Structure 1
Amino acid sequence: MIITDFLAPHHVVLDVRAPDKRRLLEDLAGRAAAALGLDAGLIQRALEAREALGSTGIGSGIALPHARLTQVTRPTGLMLRLRPAIAFEAIDEQPVDLVFLLLIPTEAPSEPLNALACVARRLRDPAVVGALRQVRDPAAFYAVLTEDR
Structure 2
Amino acid sequence: MNQIAKLLNSDNVVADLQVSSKKRLFEQVGLLLDECEGLGRSQVFDALFSREKLGSTGLGLGVAIPHGRIKGLKQVVGAFVRLATPVNFDAPDGKPVNLVFALLVPEVATEQHLQLLSDLAQMFSERAVREKLAAAPDSTAIRTIFAAWRAD
Q: Give TM-score, length-normalised by structure 2.
A: 0.91
Deviation for aligned residue 1:31: 1.0
Match of 2:90 in 1: 89
> Is the 8 Å Cα contact of residues 12 and 138 (structure 1) preserved in structure 2?
yes
Match of 1:145 in 2: 146
Deviation for aligned residue 1:121: 1.3
> Is the 8 Å Cα contact of residues 69 and 105 (structure 2) preserved in structure 1?
yes
- The residue correspondences of 1:103-142 to structure 2 (distance < 5 A) are 103-142=104-143
Match of 1:51 in 2: 52
Unaligned runs of 5+ in 2: none
Mean Cα displacement is larger for which, 94-103 or 31-40?
31-40
> What is the CA–CA distance in structure 2 between the aligned matches of 1:39 and 1:63, rounded to whole Å?
22
2:20 matches 1:32: no
Aligned length: 149
Deviation for aligned residue 1:4: 2.2
> Is the 8 Å Cα contact of residues 11 and 36 (structure 2) preserved in structure 1?
no
> Is the 8 Å Cα contact of residues 13 and 143 (structure 2) preserved in structure 1?
yes
Unaligned runs of 5+ in 1: none
Identity of aligned residues (%): 34
Match of 1:17 in 2: 18
1:70-111 alpha-carbon deviations (Å, 9 max, x no partner): 222111110010011111111111010000000111223212
Mean Cα displacement is larger for which, 8-17 or 56-65?
8-17
2:93 matches 1:64: no
> Is the 8 Å Cα contact of residues 75 and 105 (structure 1) preserved in structure 2?
yes
> Is the 8 Å Cα contact of residues 133 and 142 (structure 2) preserved in structure 1?
yes
> Is the 8 Å Cα contact of residues 75 and 115 (structure 1) preserved in structure 2?
no
Runs of 4+ in 1 over 4 A off after TM superposition: none
Deviation for aligned residue 1:114: 1.2
3-state DSSP of counterpart to 1:84: strand
3-state DSSP of counterpart to 2:44: helix
3-state DSSP of counterpart to 1:68: strand
Root-mean-square deviation (CA), in Å? 1.4
